[in-house]
Amino acid sequence: MVPEAPSTRALKGPGRLRSSSGVGWDGDDMGRAVMAYSGSDNSKGTQTMAASNDLHGQMPLMRILGFGGLVPFYALSIAVLFSQDANLRNLAFVGLSVYAVAILAFLGAVHWGFAMTAPDLSADLRKKLLVFGVLPALVGCSLFFLPGGYRLLGLALAYGAVFVFDSTHYQSLGLPQDWLRLRSQLTTGAVLALVGPGSLAIA
């Protein structure tokens, strides 16, 4: 005679079990439990998809704001490259450096927002986002003390590094392809605005 498992024992009636705590489960109960469990996973996926769709709907505004943010880059860069006034060139160079550091810090801070609000992230990825989020500000402030053109070229490299990080993780964050395309365009624009004056200052 085979001994009965200690956790459950059969009850009268097909397909019905009783747990060791005395709670009865039939096939319908178990089916509902499985559906509830799988439904929680589906709800997370639905939330991720809804967030991605909402962000996709905000892309026109993001493009306006993003490309608008390039205006100071190019206004200051043009002043450095073409102004005949030495004082204005120096002022524009400092202004370009300060603005580039500020935007670099902003790009890092965005990752804290991702870490705190994006659903379904692993603990390791959240930690990575939090740590990476402070690095651009620290790097930017450090680069600010480099002499002349090396400062701007270093900032250009930092912008590229942030983009590489974002392009590696954007799918895990549930971000749409349009977001990455916009990031690519804005990063390219900022880098070009920094490389010109930076190269001229070194030459």
Tokens of 123: 């603990």
User: Over the chain, what is the mean pLDDT?
Assistant: 82
Which residue(s) pair with 10 in the sheet?
A: 17
Angle between helices 86-117 and 177-202 (to 10 degrees): 150
* Residue 123 burial class via C-beta count within 10 angstroms: exposed 0-12, middle 13-18, buried 19 and up: exposed
What pairs with residue 8 in β-bridges? 19
Among residues 115, 101, 112, 111, the alpha carbon closest in space to that of 183 is found at: 111
* Segment 22-65, tens digit of pLDDT: 545 454 544 454 344 444 444 444 444 555 557 778 899 999 99
Render pLDDT for 111-129 as a digit per residue (tens, 0 to 9): 999 999 888 899 999 999 9
- Two tokens, residue 165: 């990080």
pTM equals 0.73
From the list 21, 193, 39, the residue with the least C-alpha distance to 104 is 193
Residue 73: pLDDT band (50, 70, 90) is very high
**pLDDT score recorded for residue 36:** 42
Give the CA count within 13 Å in the CB-facing half-sphere of 24. Answer: 9
* Geometric angle at alpha carbon 64, from 62 and 65, rounded to 5°: 65
Position of tokens 């790097």? 139
Percent of the chain with pLDDT over 90: 65
Q: Residue 132's pLDDT is what?
A: 96
Tokens of 160: 């590229």
128-145 pLDDT per residue, tens: 999 999 999 999 999 999
Phi-psi region of 10 (alpha: psi -120 to 50; beta: other; left: phi over 0): beta
What pLDDT score was predicted for residue 52?
55
